[in-house]
Amino acid sequence: MATTRAALTDADIRMLVKGATADERALAAHKLCRNIDRAELGEEDRQVAHDILRVMAADAAELVRRAMAVTLKSSSVLPHDVAMRLARDIELVSLPIIAFSPVFTDADLSEIIRVGGPARQLAVAKRPKLSSRITAQLVEEAGEEAVATACANDNARFSEVSLKKALSRFAKSEQVLQAVAYRATLPLAVAERLIDMVGDQLRDHILTHHALSAELTLELIVDAKERATIDLVDQAGRTADPKAFVAHLNGVGRLSPSLLLRALAHGHMTFFEWGVAELAGVPHHRAWLMIHDAGPLGLKAVCERAGLPPRLHSAFRAGVDAFHALEFDGGDQDRERFQEHMIQRFLTSSHTASRDDTDYLLERMDRSAEKRRSASH
């Protein structure tokens, strides 16, 4: 027991048991807990340490129990029975233990959620890791703040069913909807359901950071309410996963030559590359080399392999050349001015685009100019 005695001095233990004031005992408790957590204890020494911790947990002064809870909140040395006793203590003592202690099982956390009340449920939601079982129970039983906190916790695992339940229970809660929208990953069905429930800012975040089916993306674009703020071509350039996005579009027959032409004219080169690679059935890196080949043959060859109409080959060449000739300068409205210059160069190049495509590009130029005029007034 030499190690224990070195870590836990007789004077500290006497102060813990017989200290005249709660402050003295709390100071002794803090020192003892810190030393117990850091010491390398054998089995016999560990039992002695556990007995000391049980004495602390039974101290009448909440200051002592609070010192213990804060000092050992993340420690694995805390005995399970002591952790459970502290979890049932007053909130000043219980919340640090509930939020961090690694000794709790899912069964323990489930009981805390069931009988603990809003503050303890919130503490559970903040834990460094949560299983899908516990998040499911939080969604079923906890209040808005705890559910929003759990949803905002990317170390909390959620099933698709639980996320849908959270959206159903708290359909009017901006706090919950935002927490779900900003999760690092979302199941496709959840992202698509969320789109109909949030405002423009969150909708834009979901479109940019989460996978959506091509069908829904296209529906959003077609819808008159959304056409003012979202364009499929712009979405093509902003998508977080261009490979999956072009595969979706191709799967529903929407990865058209016209879409590729319009995306290229707007400077969305990454989408154009992935789209051509998808249609040609070649790896992205190979499509990239052929598209950006300084000679005339690479782009033509990959367009032919992709089945793109020969009448558009010169238009694609004009777009690629324009992209290489233009650069961002980092100024205000950089993206808008870049796209406008790209379209101007594209339209004045010799090519054979369809009337619909040409009208579309001219319309976008007019809209861009109108936006600049409005911003300057």
Domain boundaries, the chain: 246-377
State the average pLDDT for the chain: 79
Whether the CB-CB separation of 102 and 76 falls below 8 Å is answered with yes
Q: Across residues 16-20, what is the average pLDDT?
A: 59
Question: Over the Cα atoms of the chain, what is R_g?
Answer: 31
Count of C-beta atoms within a 10 Å radius of residue 97: 26
**pLDDT mean over 262-285:** 88
Which of the given ranges, 231-235, 263-267, 340-344, has the highest pLDDT on average? 263-267
How far apart are the C-alpha atoms of 213 and 218, rounded to whole Å?
9
**Pairwise pLDDT comparison (59 vs 182), residue with the higher score:** 182
Listed residue (102, 103, 148) closest to 121, CA to CA: 148
Residue 301: its pLDDT value, please? 92
Place 311 in a pLDDT band, splitting at 50, 70 and 90: confident
Q: Quick one: tokens of 149?
A: 């906190």
* Nearest of 344, 336, 290 to residue 318 by alpha carbon: 344
Q: Nearest Cα to 154, choosing from 134, 127, 189, 176?
A: 127
Q: Token digits for 307? A: 């089945």
pLDDT at 367: 55
The listed range with the strongest mean pLDDT (4-13, 335-344, 353-362) is 335-344
Asked whether residue 267 carries a pLDDT value surpassing 70, the answer given is yes
297: number of Cβ within 10 Å: 9
**What's the pLDDT at 83?**
95
pLDDT of residue 129: 95
| Most confident region among 11-20, 35-44, 138-147, 180-189 by mean pLDDT | 138-147
Asked if 133 contacts 105 with a C-beta cutoff of 8 angstroms, the reply is no
Give residue 377's pLDDT: 53
pLDDT of residue 15: 60
Q: How far is Cα 263 from Cα 339, in angstroms, rounded to an integer?
A: 10
% of the chain exceeding 90 in pLDDT: 36
Q: Is the pLDDT of residue 108 over 50?
A: yes
Give the whole-angstrom CA distance, residue 276 versus residue 319: 14
pLDDT at 374: 59
- Inform me whether the pLDDT recorded for 200 exceeds 70: no
Over residues 134-150, the pLDDT tens digits come to 999 999 999 999 999 99
The pLDDT, as a whole number, for residue 271 is 87
For the stretch 155-192, pLDDT in tens is: 999 999 999 999 999 999 999 999 998 898 888 888 88
The answer to which of 106-115, 266-275, 300-309 has the lowest mean pLDDT is 266-275
Is the pLDDT reported for residue 370 higher than 60?
Answer: no
218 close to 254: Cβ distance less than 8 angstroms: yes
Confidence check: pLDDT of 18 > 70 = no
pLDDT surpasses 90 at 93: yes
Q: In degrees, to the nearest 5, what angle opens at C-alpha 173 toward C-alphas 168 and 177?
A: 75
In the predicted structure, residue 365 carries a pLDDT above the cut 70: no
If one counts every other C-beta atom within 10 angstroms of the C-beta of residue 79, the result is 17
The predicted pLDDT at position 340 comes to 67
CA dihedral defined by 247, 249, 254, 257, rounded to 10 degrees? -60
